[in-house]
Structure 1
Amino acid sequence: MNSGELHQRRLAAVAKGVGSVVDSYVDHAAGGTITDVDGREWIDFASGIAVTTVGNSAPKVVEAVRAQAERFTHTCFMVAPYESYVAVCEQLIALTPGTFAKRAALFNSGAEAVENAVKIARHATGRPAVVVFDHAYHGRTNLTMALTAKNMPYKHRFGPFAPEVYRAPMSYPLRDGGLSGAEAARRAIDVIEKQVGGSNVAAVLIEPIQGEGGFVVPAQGFLPAIAAWAKANGAVFVADEIQTGFARTGRWFASEDEGLEPDLITTAKGMGGGLPIAAVTGRAELMDAVHAGGLGGTYGGNPIACAAALAAIETMRELDLCREALRIEARIKGALRDAGPGIAEVRGRGAMIAAEMVLTDGEPDPTRAAAVSKACHDAGLLTLTCGTYGNVLRFLPPLVISDEDLDRGLAILLRALRT
């Protein structure tokens, strides 16, 4: 059956609210490529939105999933626990920044991890308010829609949303008048103190590099200043590392770039090797403040997903994927250096790179970003757009992509930009 036939079946069966970037239907994928049912190969600069960090069907992940499925597929850790859940938590405790005592809990998705981080912070502090930032994206559930800044397509007509969520200005070096990190932090803190009050804040939640908001990298000094304010005011500093975590930015976690030690870290996406698993990891006194039964869920830390996560982490270590992310960064930034006019900034770290498209007056150019992305798709390169204004091209290749496939993809991208 070809993609056209499958698409007709989709139109008759799948809700229109579920969108897709392309109309081709996948048959198989490996490394840095995807092949559709028509035999067409795509170079993958999306990784399922930063999920297939170790590549699709990575050998160790496949082997671990097969072995676990033969033993048992589900018991619910809250009913009958198992070793792999504990092992994943041990790995998270060892890998996340911070030398303090930690605990971890496992969930299914990034949005679920964020919701539970908020629950933990509110329970531990006894406070209601959560501070988030302009351009933020944290999920599609009711609470995480409230935390997310962008209306379309995430929030439009889905309200009312959860209360006690407050938004502060983000450090966005391209668009905030050249403020330093310290200056941008003072601006944000002033808003928080005036509109919320430090004694009411349970959690300050931020992506160290924003994802859907445009791969915005805050100016140096912004994140440490916000973290220091949170500590001084008894608020929980939560780093949303769902997209940035697990070697994506050239370190295990993007927080490490400025020496941050978040009180809580949320993770998902790349940690599962393609299977759904998420986590909250953080200070033991915060994690353990919640009463027994207050955290969990039927599928959280499913044994097959745990096996996949352990295999993915082992693969990341063995292949030194932090180093590979820096290799990818150098090649993408090098290629985009001569990409021509219309790109205001190339930014990001590791294999999380973006190009912001603008008009001659510096205003966002979402039309060109969409056109370039479509031209890439037509030529066999899977790319994504993002940004509050929809004008940012984002590149998230698997960290195992070969130089050959990476360069083939970049050649397609450059042709699309120039035409």
Structure 2
Amino acid sequence: MRTYAEVLRVPGLARIIFAQLIARFPAGMLSLGILMHMEHQHGSYTAAGLVLAAFSIGMAVAGPFVSRLMSRFGTTTVLLVTALVSSAALLAMAVLEVSLWADVVAGVVAGAAMPPVVPTVRTLYPRMVPQRLLAPLFSFDAALQEIIWVFGPVLLTLLVAAVGTGPALLVTIGIQLAGAALFIASPQVRRLRIPPTTRKLGRVLRKPPVLLSVVVSAMFIGGFAAVEAGVVATFGEGALEAGVVLGVSAIGSLMGGFAVGSRGITPWSVAIRLSIVLLGMLIALPMTEVVGLSIALFIAGLGTAPALAAFSAIIAGTVKFADTPEAYAWIGTGQLLGAAVGSAVAGVAIDAVGGVGGVWVGAVMVAIAAAVAAIFRRHQPDLRHGIGEPPDTAPVELPR
């Protein structure tokens, strides 16, 4: 904990962490909010799923391109424009009664214009803290994001119960705008200057550590999405038990992130951390009751935030400063696609054998991710002595 206290004493960092957490909080609410509201508007989950898929595809496809725009037009400009465009598209979905295809188009626009908060903040972190504190900071950040996925869906569900789907979506839009404004108002964000990259879009994927991180994290997140679907199917849609189990898993992730945050990243780190996740999923296979599944997925959660932190550290330690926003955006794209594939395959398995089918799919996907990370470990950097100073930097003024 002494390391985290040192991290939080860095001038302006606590404010940035809080601001980006608020700006990212709608991520834990939007998918469920769109699904519920579109089902209410169009009367079927098929239609709602189509709009939600359009939203996710928009995010996945546009993420790397939008992130690259920050070096051309400035971080503040891109964040402000995307926040306004995305919120406007979501507002149209929340208040207008239009055809399904109009909502699909709005979903694509809302997803494509989601503010690139994650690429921005993870590009900013190496400019704010000493390199020896960067790995603990990434672990701290990965652990805190569990707050988004634990409390976001809960808040959305409570809002829907209290005021309905439309007003709940409006509240989510309000949080997105307020969080974006708070984040953009931070002096460190406004003064961040990312030098123009000389690479073409996608060229950063030619770096083995980046491509490996994208592929492995996609399989990993896809596996967790499959397990979540399996847990929901085991207890039934809307069951409190499913929320308890997934919440306990998130607590495990939070604890795991804090526990290993001060440890350096080695070429074996990703494989080892994913092996912990795999162990928990394997223990979960024969479980059907709340206690057993909670214990198993708590163990799986212990490796979740540490694995996500390792991906961030690998990018920071191997990619030029000008290319880091795009690299982080590709990881986000991979994770979105992985979650879509994992959920889809899990759905087939659940229909065939029940909730345990989703857990089997998750275990297989995480096993593949861990195996790939182990086999190609030589393409992962050794960061035990800290993350080196990123090259090709631009000066960033910090407040005195």
TM-score (norm 1): 0.26
Higher percent of residues as helix: 2
For the pair shown, the structure with the greater C-alpha radius of gyration is: 1
Higher percent of residues as strand: 1
